[in-house]
Amino acid sequence: MGITIPKEWLYNLEILLLIAIANHHFLLQKVTLKTSTIYT
Amino acid sequence: MNRITKIQRRSLFGLLVLTGIGLLTAFTYQAPTLQPKKPLVVFVAGDHEYGGEQTLPLLAAELEKNYGFRVIVLKSYPDQNAEKDIPGLEALRDADLAVFFLRWRQLPPDQLKYIDEYLKSGKPVMGFRTSSHAFNYPAGHESEVWNAFGERAFGTPPGWGKAGHTHYGHNSTTDVAVVEAAAKHPVLTGVNPKFHAASWLYRVRPDYPPKDATVLLMGTSVNPDKAAIENPVAWTWKNKEGAKVFFTTLGHPEDFQQEGMQRMTINAVHWLLDKPVPKKWKGKMDINVPYRGIVK
């Protein structure tokens, strides 16, 4: 009675995860620039 | 008959004396003339890093005390890190010269309008160091165009990281040299042909300042963190709004201890206001503001 996830779905999930990580990284960069902690 | 003549003589003598006094008064009395109004220099300070809110008031005080200018200093409120408020910008309406030392501000439209009005007036502008990236509005913000304020006002790159605008590391300094072709420019009167600046060199090349600018000083990075090229560190220009411009990428507080930097700044204020640069230097200013860096 276990739920089976097709292999293709796992692949899609992996892509979504990567996109989420990239977005997070990008957002962090924006926040850093906004708070002006970069020395210029 | 003799008596009358005596009286007449006395009267004549009295008349002559009175006429003499009148003439003397007429030639020696100077009617009060309308003194030309002293030019007003408005300083606008707000940077997180270099203590412009401390160095600019010292320059302003010197200009007021020894060089006959009226001055107003405006600062970010409540401190140098406050990006969204510089009270009193309406003073720019009366300014004859505006001097900016700004860094990544996000002023509201009702404050920006005074800066915009000033720039559109074509009156002269002067800028220090981080004013090349005076504003930092997020993408899509209604005031995003102000991120390129430095380009519009001073002929700098249009913001930090734009057109290769960067620096050569905080452990570097700059050897500054007068450009030979510009050595006789009034702004350089009395400025040492070479001096050393604490500011790390800003890269503005290859596209800035514009080709029609007059580069006064060139900088060579000392101890750079990457391959470095020579870059202009001070120039004059006429911007697209017709204003006379002086800009320098120097502005580290220790730079202001240099007599060359002090003289250049005082000269530039005079030159921008179409006044002859001071024949007599009133002496080195006591500017001892420590570099603060970014403090939260």
pLDDT in tens, B36-72: 799 999 999 999 999 999 999 999 999 999 999 999 9
Facing residue for A39 by CB, picked from B49, B133, B138 = B49
B136 and A33 within 8 Å at the Cβ level: the answer is yes
Six-digit token string for B177: 């040299």
Environment class of residue B109 by beta-carbon count within 10 Å: exposed (0-12), middle (13-18) or buried (19+)?
exposed
B160 in A contact zone (CB under 8 Å)? yes
B294 and A39 within 8 Å at the Cβ level: the answer is yes
Give chain B positions within 8 Å (CB) of A34: 136, 138
B164 in A contact zone (CB under 8 Å)? no
User: B226 and B201 in contact (C-beta within 8 Å)?
Assistant: no
A36 and B48 within 8 Å at the Cβ level: the answer is yes
Give chain A positions within 8 Å (CB) of B294: 36-37, 39
In a domain, B11, yes or no: no
Q: For residue A36, what pLDDT is reported?
A: 57
User: B291 and B198 in contact (C-beta within 8 Å)?
Assistant: yes
Quote the domain boundaries for residue B241.
40-165+234-272
Six-digit token string for B95: 């300014």
Within 13 Å of residue B145, how many CA atoms lie on the same side as its CB? 7
**Chain A nearest-CA residue for B202:** A40
In a domain, B239, yes or no: yes
In a domain, B95, yes or no: yes
In a domain, B286, yes or no: no
Would residue B107 be called left, alpha or beta, if left means φ above 0 and alpha means ψ between -120 and 50 degrees? Answer: beta
Environment class of residue B102 by beta-carbon count within 10 Å: exposed (0-12), middle (13-18) or buried (19+)?
buried
Candidates A32, A36, A38, A39, partner chain B, best to mutate (most B CBs within 10 A): A36
B48 in A contact zone (CB under 8 Å)? yes
Q: For residue B1, what pLDDT is reported?
A: 44
Q: For residue A31, what pLDDT is reported?
A: 52
In a domain, B72, yes or no: yes
From the list B190, B242, B248, B262, the residue with the least C-alpha distance to B214 is: B248
| d(CA B258, nearest CA chain A) in Å | 21
B294 and A33 within 8 Å at the Cβ level: the answer is no
CATH number at residue B156: 3.40.50
Checking ipTM against 0.85, whether it exceeds it is: no
In a domain, B17, yes or no: no
Per mean pLDDT, which range of A26-30, B77-81, B178-182, B199-203 is the poorest?
A26-30
**Chain A nearest-CA residue for B249:** A40
Give chain A positions within 8 Å (CB) of B167: 40
Beta-bridge partner residues of B232: B218
End-to-end CA distance of chain A: 61
Give chain A positions within 8 Å (CB) of B49: 39-40
Beta-bridge partner residues of B177: B194, B218
Q: For residue A32, what pLDDT is reported?
A: 46
B178 vs B247: CA distance, rounded Å: 15
pLDDT band at A24 (very low <50, low <70, confident <90, very high): confident
In a domain, B201, yes or no: no
A33 in B contact zone (CB under 8 Å)? yes
Q: Is the pLDDT of residue B23 over 80?
A: no
Q: Is the pLDDT of residue B26 over 60?
A: no
Q: For residue B75, what pLDDT is reported?
A: 98
User: What are the tens digits of pLDDT across the range B118-166?
Assistant: 999 999 999 999 999 999 999 999 999 999 999 999 999 999 999 999 9
In a domain, B71, yes or no: yes
Name the domain count of chain B: 1
Cis previous bond, B186, omega within 30: no
A40 and B133 within 8 Å at the Cβ level: the answer is yes
